[in-house]
A and B are shown apart, each in its own frame.
Chain A
Amino acid sequence: MSQELVTLEIDGQTLQARPGSMLIEAADAAGISIPRFCYHKKLSVAANCRMCLVEIEKAPKAMPACATPVSANMKVHTRSEKTRAAQRDIMEFLLINHPLDCPICDQGGECELQDVAMGYGNNQSNFQEIKRVVPDKDIGPLIETAMTRCIQCTRCVRFGEEVAGLRELGATGRSERMEIGTYVSKAVVSELSGNVIDICPVGALTAKPSRYTARAWEMRAHPSIAPHDAVGSNIEFHSFDGRIIRAVPRDNEAVNECWISDRDRFSYEGLYAHDRLTQPQVRQEDGSWRVVSWQEALDAVATILHHIDANRSAAFVSPTASVEEGYLLQKLMRGLGVNNIEHRLRQVDFNHADSSSASLNLAELEQQNLIVLLGANSRFEAPLLNHRIRKASLKGAKVVAINPQALDYNFDVQQVVVDSANLLNAVASLALAVAESAGGLPQALRNLNVQATDEARAWAEQLRSAEKKTILVGGLAAQHPAFGALKALSNYIGEQTGAVVSVLPSANSVGLSLAGVVPAPNAETDLNRLLASDLNTLVLVNVEPEDFAYPEQALKAMQAADQVIVIAPFADDRAREYASVLLPAATFAETAGTFVNIEGRWQSFKGAMQPKQEVRPVWKILRVIGNSMNLSAFDYMSAEEIVAEVKLETQGGKAAKTSGLPEQLVTSTLSQLPQPVHMYRTDSLVRRAKALQEMVALTPNAVSGV
């Protein structure tokens, strides 16, 4: 769509801008800085702070650049005397009630108010009276408030309404008594709430877990990638004195825009959990633990692996592991003849091999006309993917959610509740309706003995007629006994209707599948049957019982095994009971690695911190074990070298896509459905993040299957 551009002039510079866009956008694009507080590129225009006033020729008074659309031949002056006078006066007004407590304010040094006051304000005020005081509110474990500092820009309020989709903060009272808060005392619970810390231009809303720990100018920034969901949000760690103080978003329009989820923001707290492993340890005959050298520990591991009974052994790795870690683990195990390798620990049905499609594009998700969520509690599985769905919905897309129960979405959605036992039939009925109009009836559907209902036909028609459509199979589906069949049917529906079909993977599952961290076809492909078999040797890489669909069954298998090699950042009391060797491993914050997100986007990162004490990166540990077992081609010098090999083996990292329906759809029989997991209990790091753990009780519905 080509649109005539408008030509205008700012500070003598001739610029072109999209008609209808605001002056401030044109100035930003040209790198001309205009001070602002209430304006934010991702939020609606409020124009309430007036800091962005600029002189426009022929206009009687200075106009707010954030709320003045560009027009042809406009001449704007952002540094003229008139503009400067307006900026000085506004600054004086804004500071009337703002306390001069910068030395004790956590925002000091990275405060927009401080910066703009320095750059554009006066050094004296005419205001001699007493400033107002606003009592602070406790709005939960994540966000610290100092409401006297609030300049009422309402960014946080608009964020709640427009981005989080949950209006929790508001402006109550009026005039001089207007206050930002929740009015009644309650915690802010949105899964994106921490973003208000970044957008608040002053020190009114700051991060509670990191308050008073370091000053902005003392911290060092380290780019990284968040491991907790399949979005792969770009983050930045800030460290001080050898310790990670906080995590903040890094702008990447294609992935996380300028936001991150609370899980990605606050999980770093887990790095300093009291049960962090820092020394290799070997269990003694009498059951006690002895701290040993790496050499001794690796010798113990080699002894175990030399006597391994391949059929009664298995290796499990957390879905948050990097491609490099997963790849070396499977290479090591396969080298030893062990084919029981798995990372899809919360999945309960393993029929119909994964056709892990990486065809979804996050930015394009916003442009869809119809989105079908199948067993997906998207808000809590991948908050920023959900944000894209929400944006599509706000633009008019129809969203349908087919789930075993009604869920709490933050956009308009038509919820179709089908109990677990009938879920497969409901989807099969839809597939049948699609097949009917396509003219051919695949054998699998004939075998299923279902009817295409009128409702299904109506849906099929909608799917066919919608221009852009996506079917997203989520984590609740992964915990369904017919997961494989549901995926196969969804893929079939996608093929017939042209819908993009994507299975919402947990964390780095796309990358780990590519790296081969799945059982060989001739091995036991069903994880839960495998766990129930008589396993005597286990290798656990950052895995705990809670990472499995059935934690109790997993714990039993770990306790029953004779030898359990634990390579992990943490070891709790249970691990100290079932493990034979404990090898202290680095987290994603302390080593280089690569995650592949739901789009198939490979994102590599470097360690933000040096591992402490005897902690070592998992890939290095696995390399040394590989060498000590005399396996060939285990001489990697760097994570980059490993990931290059994976890319080569997987032809650039695109997963093969299977097509067509298998003749017969098979499902699993489960004696009991697994319990969905809370979004702040999904992996070992998150489970140890203190503030997030306090959120668990406040957000009982924030559960998912992955």
Chain B
Amino acid sequence: MTELHSTNNSVLSHHEREEIDHWLARYPEDRKQSALLGALRAVMHGENYVSVEKMDAIAEYLGLPAIAVYEAASFYSMFETDPSHAARYSISVCTNVSCMLNGSDSILSHIEKKLGIKAGQATPDKKFFIKVEEECLAACCNAPMMQVNHVYHTDLTAEKVDSILDGLE
């Protein structure tokens, strides 16, 4: 397939392009798809979600069919594709078996009450988003736990949750 590459893709920010180029440099010329997750991560960092516009721009930049980008973005749970889910801090409270047995349900409802939103919603100031998390996050031995952006917080209590969330800028 002949793809026309526009190097001054204006939808992607300078930083995003730099980030993608950094990943591209690590793979062979004809394996541009390898940089796809890096590209999505860069956009996710900047905007806290990946819009269709950005995905199309990534597709064009990497010479991929747009659907290949949609597939990857919608597959991985760390990418948000819904603009109403965009927030600076994404909170995932594990509610899988080990955590549930250790009281994760009350942790989750504590957070929901504290932030005034339900799981699956973001605060109006776009600071917090509570993700609906179904899978075990692999910290069962210190259940209950939650993940805030990239950071794991374990052995949670209501007080501990308060101090963690209150301490975030």
**Which A residues are within 8 Å of any B CB, using their own CB?**
165-174, 182-184, 406, 408-413, 415
Q: How far is the CB of A394 from chain B (nearest CB, A)?
A: 11
For A177, the closest partner residue in chain B by CB is B74
CB neighbours of B65 from chain A (8 A): 166-168, 170
Asked if A174 and B75 make an inter-chain contact with CB atoms under 8 angstroms apart, the answer reads yes
Interface: B67 (CB within 8 A): yes
Selected A-B contacts with CB under 8 Å, 28 pairs: A165-B1, A167-B65, A167-B67, A167-B68, A168-B65, A168-B67, A169-B67, A170-B67, A170-B68, A170-B71, A171-B71, A172-B67, A172-B70, A172-B74, A172-B75, A173-B75, A183-B52, A183-B66, A183-B67, A184-B70, A406-B2, A409-B1, A410-B1, A411-B1, A412-B1, A412-B2, A413-B2, A415-B2
Inter-chain CA distance A174–B2, complex, in Å, is 30
Q: CB-defined interface of B66-88 with A at 8 Å, one 1/0 digit per residue?
A: 11101100110000000000000
A166, A170, A409, A412 interface centre (most CB from chain B within 10 Å):
A170
Residues of B within 8 A of A182 (CB): 67
With contact pairs A167-B67, A169-B67 given, residues A183 and B2 touching in the complex (Cβ less than 8 Å): no
Smallest CB-CB separation from B72: which chain A residue? A172
Using A165-B1, A411-B1 as known contacts, say yes or no to A184 and B68 having CB atoms under 8 A apart. no
CB contacts (< 8 Å) of B70 on chain A: these are 170, 172, 183-184
CB distance from B96 to the nearest CB of A (A): 14
Main secondary structure of the interface of B (DSSP, over half): helix
Q: A170-B68, A170-B71 are in contact. Are A184 and B52 (CB under 8 A)?
A: yes
Cα A644 to Cα B2 in complex, Å, equals 46
Residue ID in chain A nearest B71 by CB atoms = A170
Q: Given the complex of chains A and B, what is the CA–CA distance between A182 and B52 in angstroms? A: 12
B residues within 8 A CB of A168?
65, 67
Residues from chain A with Cβ under 8 Å of B75 in the complex? 172-174
In addition to A171-B71, A406-B2, A409-B1, 20 A-B residue pairs with Cβ atoms within 8 Å of each other are: A165-B1, A166-B1, A166-B65, A167-B67, A170-B67, A170-B68, A170-B71, A172-B70, A172-B74, A172-B75, A173-B75, A174-B75, A183-B52, A183-B71, A184-B52, A409-B2, A411-B1, A412-B1, A413-B2, A415-B2
Q: Inside 8 A of B74's CB, which chain A residues have their CB?
A: 172-174, 183
Contact code string B1-25 (vs A, CB < 8 Å = 1, else 0): 1100000000000000000000000
Give the complex CA separation of A168 and B68 in angstroms: 9
Chain A to chain B: the 7 pairs with minimum beta-carbon distance, closest first: A170-B67, A167-B65, A183-B70, A172-B74, A170-B71, A174-B75, A173-B74
A171–B70 CA distance with the chains assembled, in angstroms = 9
Interface Cβ pair total, 8 Å cutoff? 44
Contacts of A411 in B (CB 8 A): 1
Q: Which of A165, A167, A412, A415: most chain B Cβ within 10 A?
A: A167
CA distance A118 to B17 in the complex (A): 54
CA distance A183 to B65 in the complex (A): 12
The interface residues of chain B lying within 8 Å CB-to-CB of A415 are 2
B154 CB to closest chain A CB, in angstroms? 26
The chain A residue sitting closest to B65, CB to CB, is A167
Q: What chain A residues lie within 8 Å of B71 (beta carbons)?
A: 170-172, 183
Minimum CB–CB distance for B69 against chain A, Å: 9
Closest chain A CB from B36 CB (angstroms): 13
Q: Give Cα distance in the complex from A406 to B52, angstroms.
A: 28
In the complex, what residues of B have CB within 8 A of residue A167's CB? 65, 67-68
Within the assembled complex, what's the spacing in Å between the Cα atoms of A409 and B52?
A: 25
Taking the closest CB of chain A, its distance from the CB of B78, in whole angstroms, is: 12
Least distance between B100 CB and chain A CB atoms (Å) = 19
Q: How long is the Cα–Cα vector from A174 to B73 in the complex, in angstroms?
A: 10
In the assembled complex, the CB of A390 is this many whole angstroms from the nearest CB of chain B, namely 10
Report Cα–Cα, A169/B68, bound state, in Å: 9
Given contact pairs A173-B75, A183-B74, A408 touches B2 in the complex (Cβ within 8 A): yes
Complex CA gap A172/B52 in Å reads: 13
User: Closest CB of chain B to A134's CB: distance in Å?
Assistant: 14
A167 and B66 CA atoms in complex are apart in Å by 8
- Cα(A411)–Cα(B1), bound, Å: 5
Distance between Cα atoms of A183 and B75 in the complex (Å): 12
**What's the Cα separation between A412 and B75 when bound, in Å?**
29
For A172, the closest partner residue in chain B by CB is: B74
**In the complex, how many angstroms separate the beta carbon of B98 from the nearest chain A beta carbon?**
20
B contact residues around A408 at 8 Å (CB): 2
Cα A229 to Cα B66 with chains together (Å): 31
Residues of B within 8 Å of A413, CB to CB, are: 2
User: Closest Cβ of chain A: how far from B66's Cβ, in Å?
Assistant: 8
Provide the residues of chain B in CB contact with A166, threshold 8 Å.
Answer: 1, 65
Q: Closest Cβ of chain B: how far from A69's Cβ, in Å?
A: 27
Q: Smallest distance from the beta carbon of A296 to chain B beta carbons, Å? A: 58
How far apart sit A411 and B67, CA to CA, in the bound complex (Å)?
18
Residues in chain A near residue B68, CB distance under 8 A: 167, 170
Smallest Cβ-Cβ distance to A161: which chain B residue: B65
Separation in Å of the B104 CB from the closest CB of chain A? 21
Q: How far is the CA of A183 from the CA of B67 in the complex (A)?
A: 7
Distance of A409 Cα from B2 Cα, bound (Å): 7
Q: Which of B2, B66, B67, B68 has the most CB of A within 10 A?
A: B67
Query: Which residue in chain B gives the minimum CB-CB distance to A171?
Result: B71
Q: In the docked arrangement, what's the CA distance between A410 and B2, Å?
A: 7
In the complex, how many angstroms separate the beta carbon of A389 from the nearest chain B beta carbon?
Answer: 14
Contacts of A184 in B (CB 8 A): 52, 66, 70
CA distance A173 to B76 in the complex (A): 8
